[in-house]
Structure formats: structure tokens, C-alpha cells
Chains A and B, each alone.
Chain A
Amino acid sequence: MYVKGASVLVGARDRLDDNYTKHFADLTALCRALGAGASAEDIAQDALLHAREHRHQLRDDAKLDAWLRRIAARRTFDYLRHRRREDDTEQVAAFIPVDPSISIDVSAAVTLLPERERVAVVLVYGLGYEQGEAAAVMEVTRGTVATLLHRARRHLAERLAGYAQEQGLS
């Protein structure tokens, strides 16, 4: 067991260092999508440093990507909670779908979803994660992600119903 565990640790450390650029880009995109804005790179870097220091906690080398994303997501959520208490800026960065034929105000409806639904939508629709990957980041089951996506779609539809009908969509 010891030998096997050691080889896993070495593998994880190697992959972490060898693919630093790839991981950094992936985590930065994740943090930005979750709403970290200009702090995304700092959070991603911080997450990678944390992962390197605590790499012994990773038991399965194959789950390195999910583990890193989970760390970055947690730190982003902590950052967002802190910012909501103290930040009173008039503008914030948001990761939203953009369709040239649809008003940006309509797209912004995504940001008004309940937080867990918004995160699920951002991960699956925005970043293209599989539902299982999103579930790993959110530390919930895949079924929960499916439920959150279902609710989010319904909430968006209800919120956009009036506008959609005004635009003659059917």
C-alpha cells in the first residue's frame, strides 16, 4: 500500500508541475466563470500553491483535475462571499451567454439565478463541463446537478417569458 501510495503522490506532483500552464489556464477560466473577475488569476495561483503543499491529500491521481477545480472553486466562493460583504462597486464582472441578437440585459438574467443553480449552469453550459465534472466541483452528486440545471432552466424561462413573447418567439 505504501509503495502504491507513494507512486500516486509522485505522479500527482509530476503532473501538477509538468502541466502547470494548462492547470493555471483551466483554473483561471473556472474562477472567472464563477465571478472572480480580475482576481481570477490570483485565486488560481493560490489554489495551485495550496494543491502543491497539500498534494498528499490526493489519493487518486486520475482525479487531479477535479481536485484542483474543487480547491479553486472553494476559494472563489470564499472570495465572493467576502466581496459581497465589503464591496460596493457599481460594476461587477459576470460570465454570461452572449447572443448578438439578444439584449445583454436578457443575458444578465443568468446572474440572477439562485447561486447553486447559477454555478451549475455556468459550469455545464458556460464551461462545457460534463455533469459529473460539475458535480465534483460543486461537491454534490450528479443527480443534484441535473436537478439544479432543470430548475435553473425553468427559472430562466419564467423570468424571460414576457420578453420572449414580446419578441414574438414561439
Chain B
Amino acid sequence: MKLMRSAHVSSDRLGEAARHASLDGLRDHERSHLETCQECKALYAGYRLTDRLLSSSWRETVLPASATPQAETNRGLAGVLAALRPHARSLVPVALAFCLTALVAFAVLLPQLMPLPNPASERSPSSAVATQSLSPSVPSATTGTPTFVGPQPSGPGAGKTSGGVAVATPTAAASATPESPLSVAGLSGWPVNWAPDGAHLLVSGSSGWTTQRQIKILNASGKSSGSFTADSATWFDSNTIAASTDGRGPGSGTITLINLSGRVVATMPGQHGEGGGGTGAVVLGSGTGEVAVAAMGGWGPAQSSFVIWDGQTVGSSHAGIPIGFSHDGKKLAVVHSSGGPGGNFSGWLEIVSVPSLSTVGSFTHTSIRTSSPGSGPGYGPEVAFSPDGSWLYVSGTLVDLSHGSTTHVGDGGWLPDGSLLTSSGGKVLRWQGTHSTTDSRFEAGGSVATSRHGEVVEFFGDGRSPLLLTSSGTVRQLTLPGVVSISDAQLAPNGAAVAISGRGTKGGVIELARLR
């Protein structure tokens, strides 16, 4: 399951707004995000100050050496290398001799150091170092500690509170051995979007001041398999991406299906786009072979409508704004909004079946409000059905689909056993239905992201290293060199990797960590 978390307004968009000293150029959801996000506010203010500073008069002045570039480069390895550079030529023979000696010594000693094969102790070197098994013998019933339930082979819901469940404590988490993730790219902090099977992800880079951007298709090791240019993209299925590209004017966008090499394999008949003349067609993928697409001229505030396209047939139009498919792609949550298009809108909730679009549940008295990551590579409100389909998580609100009641729960995601893990008020809460308990395994002040497989990542915006709780109950501390603050973490649905977005010392970064 994938929850799109609320991401920040992109740095480029803030920069453009600051250049014009006006927020008018931002979209509605970007403006509303900016009102509440201190980090984006600060960055916008930083751009304003930068422009003011650069347009000032320049003059030569004397500064302490500690404030200049050479002071920075003289620190750490760079400083050592800089100091060695004048003597580099004389050091080359010495270094070669040292390497040769080390190689010979390694070859001689290797057979003595190699242990005999022991199947019982066989596991990957990285997991042996980076993970710490936590006591499985602490029954939650006796300690009062909420139990973390990983995925059970017997199916959903099995063994919710049974013994033998691994319990991670904050102490254990703090002593976890750091694991360095694999850095994929130093991008501008665009959100990532995992494929349903977790084998690939989309990473979007900026292409200047336009909304259209290059979107890379990477595998879970960070290797690019292709790229394409589009305004937004979503996963049609695990091997296909649905992309929308603006046309000239309202209702003139095109929708294409793209394979993992970045090649167009199908084009949706007709042209589609926002009725309000905004950013073109909006697409929402099910991950199971369908995509909900804005019907021609259908994204106006009062007459929003959409169609389902399965790659061959375009279904009939249905009123409302699609906000989230169920995991099996057979149900779709729809909002009947009185607001405009884009990521944020409120209205009443309807659940329809796919592809017939017949109404399964209609909650005309249930008002919900959605938010979306905004300037990412895909339209994706923070919406997710529970594993059994009886609850709906919508941007921090839990909706009981049996009668439409709502509960504010905070940001988070579902676990395979049907419980919801959220962060609210500085605590991590675990929800069974509308009943919550504080999950003391997590540190205070963090945000959580979950995978369908049961992994949980708790991350912090204050510089603390994120913690990974695996589905088997082990905990790792992920070290992220060069990352100053983390704004988002997205686990692959299969829990095999996590993509962490944040700001580094040199701008936005996305770090990718393989977890198994």
C-alpha cells in the first residue's frame, strides 16, 4: 500500500514566486501548503532575502578565513587531500608499494581468516551488521506495550496479538547499528513514486521553470531503465506508467502508457485536460491496469467528472474527483467537491466499483478534505483503503466505510494486519478501528511511513537518523550522510527499499536504501 504523503512545494516553484514577489503564480494547493508549512515558508523567505542580497551593491571586504571556501575545503578528507597534493608525485610510488604489500598479505591471510561454512549462521554481511534482533519473548499483554504485528504467511489478520511477536523498544532502536543507504541521486527534492510491486520507482527532476519535467524510471538499486517527459505520471500497473502531457489550453492534454524503458506503448483516444485551464489532464493509476482520467473539460469546480481507461477501452464518464483506488483496483474513492481542481479539495465521499463505476457506498453527509504531494511527478492524494477495504484513510482522517463516520488520526499508513500507524501530537499511535494506543517503540517527534509488507520507517525533520522497523521486528538506524533534514520517506510496497527525500548541505536530495 502506498500513501502519498504531503510533500513540500518545490524549490523552483518557490523561487519563481519569490522572483515575482507574489504567490499568485502558485497553484491553490501549493498556496495552502505554504500557509501551514514552516519549511516552505522559510525557503520562500530565503529566496526573497537572496534576491534582495544579490541586487545590493557589491564591494570588497575583509572576512575571517573561517567564512570562506578554503576554510571549508580544508576540513576533513578534502583538507587532507589538499595538503597532500603538492607532494602527490613523491607519494605515488609509496602508495603503490603499500597497495601491493597489502594485496599480498590479504592473499596469504585470507584462507586463515575464512570461517568454515555454517548454514545456521549464513546471512548477508549487511544484515548481520546492520540489524539487531529484538527480544521476541516480551508478551505485550504483560507489559502493556502495543504489539507490532508483521505480515503473517497465513494471511491478513492472522496472529494479531499472539506470542512470539517481536517487540522493538526505543532503547534497542537507539543502539541499532547504523546502515548507510545507497545514494541514488542528488535531485531537487521531488517526491518519488513506487511501482505497486516495489521493483521500480519514479523520480522527477526539475526542468527549469516549466511544469513539464523529466521523470526517470529507476529500479530498486537506483539504476535507470528509462525516462520520459510529462507533466504528471502514475503507475498503471507494475510494468507500465500512465503519463499526462499538457496541450495548448483546457481539455487538450494527452494520456499515454509508457513501458519501463520510457517508450510509449499506447495513447488514449481523444484529448483530456482540466476544464479550468490549469495544468492539464490529471491521472490516477490503480496499479492493477486501470487509470482514472479527467474527462474532457471535466475538472471544473462544479462539473468534475472522470473516466476509466484500461489501455484499450474508455469507460463512461462519472461525476466527481477520483482520489484513491483500493489495493485490488476494484474500488475507487471519489469526492464530490465544491472546490477547484488540484490536490486539495473537500466534499462528500462516494465509493464506486471499477470498472462499472456503480455506486458501492454513498456518504453524502461525510465531508472529507484531501491533500496531495503537490509538485511531484504524480497526482496522488493521501488516500488509502485498509487491507480489508472497510476503512479509508484520507489525509489524516479515518473514514469508517460502514456508516461514514470520521476520526482524525494524523499522518501515517496501514499495516498488513489492518491496524493504522500514525504520528500525531509528537507520538506514534497505533489504531485498531477508532481506538488508539501510544506505540512506545518509537521515538517522540517522528513521522511514520509503512509498507504493505509491514516495514515501518520513522523519520525526523530535526536531523535525527531515521529508524527502520522490519516486519520481523528488527530495527536499524539508517545513516544518511549529507542529509540535514528529512521531509519524506516512502517505503516500497514490498518493503525492500526506502526512498528518503530531504535537504542536504547542497540542496535537495533523495537517498535510496536497500533494506534486504
Contacts and interface: CB of A to CB of B under 8 A. Distances in A.
Interface of A: 32-33, 37, 83-85, 87-99, 102, 104-115, 118, 121-122, 125-127, 150-151, 153-165, 167, 169-170
Nearest to B39: A161
B162 to A, nearest CB: 48
A95 B59 contact: yes
7 contacts: A85-B86, A91-B63, A102-B53, A109-B53, A121-B54, A161-B39, A164-B49
A106 B45 CA distance: 14
Interface string B322-340: 0000000000000000000
Nearest to B58: A126
A111 B67 contact: yes
Contacts of B72: 112
Given A158-B503, A164-B46, 17 more contacts: A33-B60, A85-B82, A91-B63, A98-B59, A99-B56, A107-B53, A118-B69, A125-B54, A127-B58, A151-B507, A153-B51, A157-B11, A158-B507, A160-B53, A162-B42, A167-B49, A170-B45
Contacts of B56: 97-99, 102, 107
A94 B61 contact: yes
Interface in B6-62: 11-12, 14-15, 18, 38-39, 41-62
Contacts of A104: 61, 63
Contacts of A160: 46, 49-50, 53
A77 B63 CA distance: 19
Main secondary structure of the interface of A (DSSP, over half): helix
A152 to B, nearest CB: 9
Contacts of A165: 38, 41-42, 45-46
A164 B63 contact: no
B65 interface: yes
Contacts of A125: 54-55, 58
Contacts of B64: 90-91
B65 A170 contact: no
B73 interface: yes
* Highest count of chain A CB atoms <10 Å: which of B41, B50, B52, B503: B50
A60 to B, nearest CB: 30
B65 A161 contact: no
A92 B11 CA distance: 32
Interface of B: 11-12, 14-15, 18, 38-39, 41-65, 67-70, 72-74, 82-83, 85-86, 188, 208, 503, 506-507
* Highest count of chain B CB atoms <10 Å: which of A37, A93, A96, A157: A157
A170 B48 contact: yes
A5 to B, nearest CB: 39
B45 A164 contact: yes
Given A93-B60, A160-B49, A84 B70 contact: yes
Given A89-B65, A125-B54, A153-B54, A158 B43 contact: yes
Contacts of A105: 67
A107 B50 CA distance: 9
A61 to B, nearest CB: 30
A169 B59 contact: no
A97 B65 contact: no
A148 to B, nearest CB: 13
Nearest to B54: A125
B85 to A, nearest CB: 7
Closest A-B pairs by Cβ, 9 of them? A161-B46, A164-B45, A157-B46, A161-B42, A164-B49, A97-B56, A126-B58, A165-B42, A99-B56
Contact of B68 (A32, A99, A107, A111): A111
Contact of A92 (B38, B52, B65, B188): B65
A92 B53 contact: no
Given A93-B60, A94-B60, A170-B41, A154 B15 contact: yes
A125 B46 CA distance: 17
Nearest to B73: A84
B49 A108 contact: no
Contacts of B507: 151, 154-155, 158
A10 to B, nearest CB: 36
